[in-house]
């Protein structure tokens, strides 16, 4: 596979890197929840450990000689990853055990929909990024938001 540093600083735009990071966070969290349902009580804690190692790696990259855009990307990525770890910690604290639990469904979750999905506005899409929260599902639509620094992500700004 590709080395994370090469992926972050390769030919990809920051927005796509941040979107893929969110898709992977959602995927890993749901895998952990499925393992918990299957009896592995420590699956989410293992996911948190993995996420912390990735965060440490990202923090280490900030110490390199980076361009301004690379530094902004890494700052945004670190803020999102810290928020993701906080959410995972809260899932453990609330004893969330399933992808059907409200504590999970209330989170903003990103998916890559290979198969056809019906969004909340009735559109049927496939091979696209879908953002879900509770029963709502919307196309990400790759709207350009700019490579701006993020100060903080809270449940109100998620």
Q: How many CA atoms lie within 13 A of 58 on its CB side?
A: 24
Q: What is the mean pLDDT of each run of 10 residues along the chain (158 residues)?
A: 83 91 98 98 98 96 94 93 97 98 98 85 86 94 69 65
The pLDDT of residue 17: 93
The pLDDT of residue 124: 83
Backbone angles phi, psi at 155, to 5 degrees: -55, -25
| Domains located in the chain, CATH noted | 4-105 (1.20.58.1120), 108-141 (no CATH)
- Per the listing, tokens 């990853």 go with 81
The 10 Å CB-count burial string (b at 16+, else e) for 87-126 is: bbeebeeeebeebeeeebbebebbbebeeebebeeeeebe
Cα(148)–Cα(40) distance, integer angstroms: 39
The pLDDT of residue 126: 80
The pLDDT of residue 156: 60
The pLDDT of residue 127: 84
Q: How many CB atoms lie within 10 A of CB 43?
A: 18
Q: What is the pTM of this model?
A: 0.88
């Amino acid at each position: 596979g590709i080395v994370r540093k090469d992926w972050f600083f390769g030919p990809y735009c920051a927005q796509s890197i941040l979107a893929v990071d969110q898709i992977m966070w959602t995927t890993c969290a749901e895998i952990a929840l499925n393992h918990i349902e299957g009896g592995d009580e420590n699956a989410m804690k293992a996911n948190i450990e993995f996420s912390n190692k990735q965060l440490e790696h990202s923090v280490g990259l900030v110490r390199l000689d980076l361009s301004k855009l690379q530094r902004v990307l890494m700052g945004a990525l670190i803020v999102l990853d810290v928020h993701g770890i906080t959410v995972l910690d809260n899932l453990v604290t609330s004893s969330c055990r399933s992808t059907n639990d409200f504590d999970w469904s209330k989170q903003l979750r990103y998916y890559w929909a290979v198969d056809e999905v019906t969004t909340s506005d009735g559109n049927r899409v496939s091979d696209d990024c879908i953002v879900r929260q509770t029963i709502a599902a919307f196309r990400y639509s790759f709207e350009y938001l700019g490579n701006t620094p993020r100060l903080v992500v809270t449940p109100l700004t998620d």
